[in-house]
A and B are shown apart, each in its own frame.
Chain A
Amino acid sequence: MYQYDKYDQAMVDQRVAQYRDQTRRYLAGELTEDQFRPLRLANGLYIQIHAPMLRVAVPYGMMSATQIRKIADIARRYDRGFVHFTTRTNFQMNWPKLEDVPDILAELATVQMHAIQTSGNDIRNTTTDQLAGINADEIEDPRPWAEIIRQWSTFHPEFAYLPRKFKIAIIATKEDRAATQLHDIGLRMVKNHDGEVGFEVLVGGGLGRTPVIGVQIRPFLEKQDVLSYLEAILRVYNRLGRRDNKYKARIKITVREHGINHIRELVEAEWVQMRQQLKLDQKEIDRVKAHFTEPDYETDAASDTTFDEMLAEDQDFARWVKQNTVVHKVPGYRAAYISLKKPGVPPGDITSEQLDLVADLADEFSFGEVRSTHTQNLVLGDVKQADLYALWLQLHAEGLATPNINTLGDIICCPGLDYCGLANAKSIPLSKQIMQRFEDVDYLNDLGDIKIKFSGCMNGCAHQSVGHIGILGVDKKGEEWYQFTLGGSSEADASLGERLGRAIPKDDVVDTVGQLLDAYVELRHEDESFLATVRRLGIEPFKDRVYADANN
């Protein structure tokens, strides 16, 4: 993975010093709340219900074992011994002290980590596919490009005070594990007619109050032009984006109000003027790519026979392998998901002790690297099949091997009213109840791929509008109610869910999920997924089931 050179390190160190001084001036009364807010947000610090919340960047989801140990250590000493991974592959700590944050950032900087631009109206962490670089289907490893974009977007002087936040995701496969169609800019590596690799550029996707699926602004962009094209889009947005209403300030609204054709004309006009100046040279592309070379895979990993023996011998292991591991481009290797969705635990949470174990396992079995995912899990990307059983035993012992990846149990959930100052309703306790009610692994396995996304308010941090089942907490006269949507998807077949009907009271939420599942099991064709069934039949039969039962 990428290693800082003296320039990268100096910038992060200077950022810590800058923020230390800003915190000092705020505490001394030299900065007002309003003046300090954008500064702390640009360093990942929110003020929440109980305490500040610090969001730390995990650029494109890559972490070293050393970094994981540092995260565990910081969570232990400055927080309550756990962290929460987010849908944008970052992690959050929910209980740091505001005055400790400069020290936390200084500690992070010692392992090449930071909280730069994890909040605020700036360019956020660029995310990618958690299987980048290890997936046989990909056109090219997208991570060097994510790193090139990370550097360009870090402290970009022109774009630090945008109309609103700005998120970029990049993938290199047809399958979309990074929700590129729901980002302000989605970059998809594609081949043109001549077989050259470049980017298809999407713009104007987003979730939140007004979910929108991004549209293509350019079918093919040559690789060395990626920064100039991004800069052109950002400049047009910085000038044109609305600043009178923060709910209409995202680029999705700019695109809607001006039309994609007009936006494209403006961007292209801007782009031709700066294209030469910002052209990437091959030397730089090669320099960054050199950080993402393949590890020393064993060439005879596939000749191992113990893996098949253990699969036959241990049903629990076999179930975990089927559900939580995926095929690797190198024969004899697999990528193993570490499920952060154990029933009873808030989705995405992991303790310091578990982090230490993950770091050790990464060192022992996966070249010392760990990836975080859009679905709030972790991945060890390069595990030999012969090592999977030993890995599983240790994960299992620490509650990190629940075989529920991509099942109903793999709920995406925001912090909700338990932590978040914006939330209208709780999300974690109900997610836990859903996971506990539908815990039976055979049942989950039978249901197959069902993505529940659960947000505690319409800001939609858990992306409920693109959940196969979306659940949105709303406040009705001081009571928590829940609005269901069905049939959304954030993947290659992205779509927005359709509203099921009137909101459901809190006590009925888990039962409602049960009714939807019962209806699906009755209605599905053989091997038909939940999403396919909803798309074939529409929401009516599901609606009938839920509201007919409610009327009895």
Chain B
Amino acid sequence: MQMQIIKDREIVEDNWQHLDDEAPLTKGNITVSLNRWQEQHDILSKHQDGLGIRLSGDDPLEEIVPDLARFQLVVLIFPAFTDGRCYSYAKLLRERYNFKAEIRAQGDVLFDQLFYMSQCGINSFELANPNRLTNALSAFDQFSESYQATVLRPEPLYRRR
């Protein structure tokens, strides 16, 4: 059964498969770990459908920067919602490394963190509790402004007042 996710503020069917390091390659859109990407770089480069990479805060972000153009999806893993490292990863991917494709939050992804995640440039979400997807859409409008320069509003409030 296809899982539902939130993408660009809409509930959509997920059309990606997250492959374990041991799982055989399949057709369709797949994501792999940084480890697998580095070990099977040549085979994966020839993958016909969408290719994505999964990163956690333990993975050195800078190592995949030269390969970013090859990915249609970067999955950022939140092992616990209190682990905030990937907020910085998302912001760097968008602002410094100019990554335009999908950035997805996976793991302990809860309603109450969606607003901050979206401001950092994450645009799709696999919620830890997929039963609450409809309610979750309201999270993106909890605040009408941010003081800071965010990915969604690159000019800080002090330039817009």
Contact = CB atoms under 8 A, between A and B. Distances in A.
A277 B148 CA distance: 11
B136 interface: no
A247 B92 CA distance: 28
Interface in A137-193: 148, 151-152, 154-163
Contacts of B142: 14, 17-18
A5 B87 contact: no
Contacts of A162: 84
A10 interface: yes
A467 B96 CA distance: 45
Given A7-B157, A157-B120, A238 B88 contact: yes
A86 B99 CA distance: 45
B161 A5 contact: yes
B25 interface: no
Contacts of A235: 88
Interface string B87-131: 110010001100000000000001011011101100000000000
B83 A243 contact: yes
Contact of B87 (A10, A14, A31, A157): A157
Given A39-B112, A235-B88, A277 B81 contact: no
B114 to A, nearest CB: 11
A162 B110 CA distance: 17
Contact of B143 (A155, A238, A277): A155
Nearest to A150: B147
Nearest to B112: A39
B158 A238 contact: no
Contacts of B83: 161, 243
A27 interface: no
A254 B144 CA distance: 35
Contacts of B42: none
A22 interface: yes
A290 to B, nearest CB: 12
A378 to B, nearest CB: 29
A152 B147 contact: yes
Give the interface centre of A10, A152, A160 by most chain B CB atoms within 10 Å.
A160
Contacts of A3: none
Size bracket, chain A contacts: 35 or more
Given A5-B161, A155-B143, A22 B82 contact: no
B28 interface: no
A277 B154 CA distance: 9
Nearest to A277: B149
Contacts of B84: 121, 158-163, 238
Nearest to B154: A277
Given A161-B81, A162-B84, A278-B156, A156 B148 contact: yes
Contacts of A227: 156
Interface in A1-58: 5, 7, 10-11, 14-15, 17-18, 22, 31, 35, 38-39
Given A11-B143, A35-B81, A278 B161 contact: no
A511 interface: no
A325 B150 CA distance: 45
A477 interface: no
A475 interface: no
B89 to A, nearest CB: 8
A121 B146 contact: no
A161 B82 contact: yes
A239 B88 CA distance: 7
B146 A157 contact: yes
A18 B142 CA distance: 7
A547 to B, nearest CB: 45
Contacts of A151: 147, 157-158
A284 interface: yes
B87 A238 contact: yes
Contacts of A161: 81-84, 87, 113
A299 interface: no
B50 interface: no
Contacts of A17: 142
A158 B92 CA distance: 10
Interface of B: 57, 81-85, 87-88, 91, 95-96, 110, 112-113, 115-117, 119-120, 142-150, 154, 156-159, 161
Given A14-B143, A17-B142, A18-B142, 17 more contacts: A7-B157, A7-B161, A10-B145, A31-B112, A35-B110, A155-B116, A155-B143, A155-B146, A157-B116, A159-B87, A160-B87, A160-B116, A161-B113, A238-B84, A238-B85, A243-B83, A277-B154
25 contacts: A5-B161, A10-B144, A11-B143, A17-B142, A31-B112, A121-B84, A151-B147, A156-B147, A157-B115, A157-B119, A157-B120, A157-B148, A158-B87, A159-B84, A160-B116, A161-B82, A161-B83, A162-B84, A227-B156, A238-B85, A239-B88, A243-B85, A280-B158, A284-B159, A287-B158
Interface of A: 5, 7, 10-11, 14-15, 17-18, 22, 31, 35, 38-39, 121, 148, 151-152, 154-163, 227, 235, 238-239, 243, 273, 277-278, 280-281, 284, 287
